Amino acid sequence: MKSINFRSIDKLCSLLLASGGNHAKVESIVGSGIRQRVIDKDSLPLIVQRLAGQGNQWQTALLVLQSRQLASHNIARDPSMWKTLERAIPEDVKAKENVRPVIASSLRKEK
């Protein structure tokens, strides 16, 4: 099993948080993380958990999971990551109702 470089993950999460939820910046940072071998199927759940746990940054975690870079590099998204993200969403009913179709469509695409 490959060891996980937590410092690199921390730097990547800091960059993602600094992106301010800008879709293009998130795509660029995710692509860079894949090229630097920071993002893979083992580290992705840690990244999502870290972003989702940072207050109101669940939107950034959602953008990371929806990234085209992950799909083009065949990085699998574990269904448990979606549960982590859904728990991080505030209890605002509208927010959860808007995210559920996105999660469901992403799970269908992966199968």
Q: How many domains, in total, are found in the chain?
A: 1
Considering the domain boundaries, does residue 1 fall inside one? no
pLDDT in tens, 2-55: 677 889 999 999 999 999 889 999 999 999 999 999 999 889 999 999 998 887
**Tell me, what's the pLDDT at 101?**
74
Considering the domain boundaries, does residue 50 fall inside one? yes
**How far is CA 93 from its chain centroid?**
22
Structural domain range at position 57: 6-110
Determine the average pLDDT of the residues in 63-92.
Answer: 84
Which amino acid is residue 43, in one-letter code? S
- Whole-number mean pLDDT of the chain? 84
Burial (CB < 10 A; 0-12, 13-18, 19+), residue 73, is: middle
Q: pLDDT category, 108, cuts 50, 70, 90?
A: low
**Tell me, what's the pLDDT at 33?**
94
